[in-house]
Amino acid sequence: MSRVMLITGASRGIGAATARLAAQQGYALCLNYHQRADAANAVLEQVRGLGVTAIAVQADVADETQVLHMFEAIDRELGRLDVLVNNAGMLEQQMRLEQMDAARWGRVLGANVIGSFLCAREAIKRMSTRHGGQGGAIVNLSSVAARLGAPGEYIDYAAAKGAIDSMTLGLAKEVASEGIRVNAVRPGVIHTDIHAAGGEPDRVERVKASVPMGRGGQAEEIAEAILWLASEQASYTSGALLDVAGGR
């Protein structure tokens, strides 16, 4: 029976690249998306074309009711869960802290932090041997912004990813004896459209000189790290924060 992977934010960027690579490796997939049904369905067609079972489920991961409905769909249509990739996240317009308002912080922390907690909670209920599960893996998407701080751009996003680092470390210890490994990938500057949301679509080109390897990364390079952490090749790896950032 195929292992089942849930990827949040799977309609584009790192999530879509992870879905394609997971399908190549034979995973059955639940592709979560928030708003872009057209993009999610395009990815769904791609992965089904590789011969795997896959569903797409719309849910705002920051909304508890919608997350519960998504996991009910996984139970009903896929029957099990082996891997959660907490990829969904967002950032907002670049600005200094004193220009930000509380509504923005609610959106940024909701999507990046609360969503990851909600999905991890429901995944643990299904994977933990304590709850009758067979074990599994959780891979969180953090960012090197967690240790660089993103000054003058989006320190709220950086702080949210710092929370993901702490969650990864604590949860890895909490569920280690229950057959669940928890790790995080911390991408550097990657060629995805998340930068457009910050108001600077060409940000990678501007900052690539600060990357020791001299270039931005590709979504597929992050996907490779995610799939390794999800695999049995990483069977003794838990609580790791893996930087995939060109040496930055």
On the CB side of 177, how many CA atoms lie within 13 Å of its CA?
2
- What sections of 101-154 are H helices per DSSP? 102-109, 115-127, 145-148
In the residue annotation, 157 being an active-site residue is answered as yes
Q: One of 27, 33, 154, 157 is an active-site residue; which one?
A: 157
Q: Are residues 226 and 239 in contact, defined by beta-carbon separation less than 8 angstroms?
A: no
Query: Distance between CA 179 and CA 41 in Å, rounded?
Result: 33
* Contact status, residue 186 vs residue 143, Cβ threshold 8 Å: yes
Query: Which residues does the annotation mark as catalytic?
Result: 157
